[in-house]
């Protein structure tokens, strides 16, 4: 009898271990927001404004690069009192609207679920909040404000001089 009980106990233990061996329930990679935050990291170049179907507005060329960096270690959670699905990081924005040189902006971002918000370094919030969509291989980023959607592509590096 004892042998049977021991067999059942060991079998159950074995099955339990087997069943949950691959699970890491507290790993960020399992959190889709964490996955998105990780994928957000990198350098992005604006390639399309869907409303104008170009990288122009009217006759003016728009050249925008955004570098998102996640807080270290990568995709750590935001402060504990925040939603468990919020992640933060910093950004650098390089833009040339029409003529002139690239202007640089810096600040921080927060990703909550799929909603991306941000604040410039002087405390001014972004002009909009964005619904984030990444394609399967994380090379194409869509930032959709309620009235305007911009498509970015991942690039390896900023242009020389930036």
Which residues lie near other proteins (CB under 8 A)? 46, 51-52, 57-60, 62, 64, 66, 91, 93, 95-101, 103, 105, 118, 120, 122, 124-128, 130, 143, 145-148
d(CA 106, CA 110): 14
User: Which of 31, 131 has the CB closer to other proteins?
Assistant: 131
What sign results for the dihedral spanned by CA atoms 47, 97, 129, 157? positive
Nearer to other proteins, 52 or 113 (CB): 52
C-alpha 130/C-alpha 133 separation (Å) is: 9
**Are 131 and 141 within 8 A, CB to CB?**
no
* Residue 101: CB minimum distance to other proteins, A: 5
Least distance between other proteins and beta carbon 98 (Å)? 4
Q: Minimal distance in Å, beta carbon 70 to other proteins?
A: 17
Q: CB-wise, 92 or 140, nearer to other proteins?
A: 92
Give the C-alpha separation, 157 to 70, whole Å: 17
Pick between residue 34 and residue 93 the one whose CB is nearest to other proteins.
93
Contact in structure between 111 and 33 (CB atoms under 8 Å)? yes
β-pairing, 60-70 with 42-49? antiparallel
Least distance in angstroms from the C-beta of 151 to other proteins = 13
Question: Rounded to the nearest whole angstrom, what is the least distance from the CB of residue 93 to other proteins in the complex?
Answer: 6
Element at 12 (helix H, strand E): helix 2-20
Between 31 and 134, whose beta carbon lies closer to other proteins? 134
End-to-end CA gap in the chain: 76
């Amino acid at each position: 009898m004892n042998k049977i009980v021991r067999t059942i106990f060991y079998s159950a233990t074995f099955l339990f271990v087997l069943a949950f061996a691959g699970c890491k329930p507290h790993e960020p990679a399992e959190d889709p927001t964490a996955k998105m935050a990780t994928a957000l990291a990198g350098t992005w170049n604006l390639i399309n404004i869907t409303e104008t179907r170009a990288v122009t507005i009217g006759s003016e060329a728009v050249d925008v690069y955004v570098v998102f960096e996640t807080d270290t270690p990568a995709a750590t959670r935001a402060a504990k009192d925040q939603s468990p699905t919020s992640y933060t990081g910093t950004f650098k924005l390089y833009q040339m609207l029409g003529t002139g040189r690239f202007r640089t902006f810096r600040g921080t971002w927060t990703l909550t679920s799929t909603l991306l918000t941000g604040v410039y370094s002087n405390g001014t919030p972004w002009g909009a909040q964005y619904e984030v969509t990444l394609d399967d291989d994380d090379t194409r980023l869509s930032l959709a404000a309620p009235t305007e959607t911009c498509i970015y592509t991942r690039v390896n590096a900023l242009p020389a001089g930036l």
